[in-house]
Amino acid sequence: DAGITQSPRHKVTETGTPVTLRCHQTENHRYMYWYRQDPGHGLRLIHYSYGVKDTDKGEVSDGYSVSRSKTEDFLLTLESATSSQTSVYFCAISEPRREGTDTQYFGPGTRLTVL
Amino acid sequence: SQQGEEDPQALSIQEGENATMNCSYKTSINNLQWYRQNSGRGLVHLILIRSNEREKHSGRLRVTLDTSKKSSSLLITASRAADTASYFCATDRNTDKLIFGTGTRLQVFP
């Protein structure tokens, strides 16, 4: 978890409310990722960023948006939270390699419950 | 969709025994990685094996890769109670994205 923090670590919210999760890194890594982890599904990529203001969708991006205005911060927003978005959310960082992706380093996770 | 599927889903062994986990994937890959996740924590990288490698070692870990069968195995030798965790394989296809499997839960009893 070194160099990567996520806030909040736990959040309970109600259906229909907006929620923003923050990932902050001190490693100056170029790539940042948001995943969700659910029982039986492993980790699934929501969105990722390959630089400031450069983002792209992952496998399960519907209902989520992201922003990256600084190298160190990557925000994940649920515009109108639904119960299906109850999950544990992980942020990860990596540096690009010439041959495929490099090791990813993960934050401690945010447990989100949508009632 | 999941690229990797781990087998078994859960494994229970005694300390000192070896633990073997398998990962199968669907399409050609560039690299395959294994990660460990302790309960309530983020994932931690263990080892990376490239598509042109067949075996790799790191301490008590041994990873094999068979690209013809689209499968990999992770062997933990002389397991310890501290090895209790979930283990995930992850693959990439020369992109900046990893695709994770569903994981194997390993329980090592003292």
Contact A100 B93 (CB under 8 A): yes
pLDDT at A1 over 70: no
- Of all residues in chain B, the one with the smallest CA distance to A99 is B94
If you average pLDDT over every residue of chain A, what do you get? 93
- The mean pLDDT of A42-65, rounded to a whole number, is 94
Yes or no: say if B3 and B84 are a contact pair by the CB < 8 Å rule: no
Report, as ranges of residue numbers, the positions in chain B whose pLDDT lies below 70: 1-4, 94
Dig out the tokens for A47 from the structure.
């969105």
Could you identify the residue written with the tokens 């890594």? A29
- The mean pLDDT of A14-33, rounded to a whole number, is 96
pLDDT at A48 over 90: yes
In angstroms, the separation between the Cα of residue B6 and the nearest Cα of chain A is 10
Q: Output the CA torsion sign for A35, A107, A82, A62.
A: negative
Write down the pLDDT at residue A102: 76
Q: Is B92 on the interface with A (CB under 8 A)?
A: yes
When CB atoms are compared, the residue of A48, A100, A108 closest to B31 is A100
Per-residue pLDDT tens over the stretch B92-109: 876 778 899 999 999 999
Interface test with B, best of A29, A104, A105, A106 (most B CBs within 10 A): A104
pLDDT at A41 over 90: no
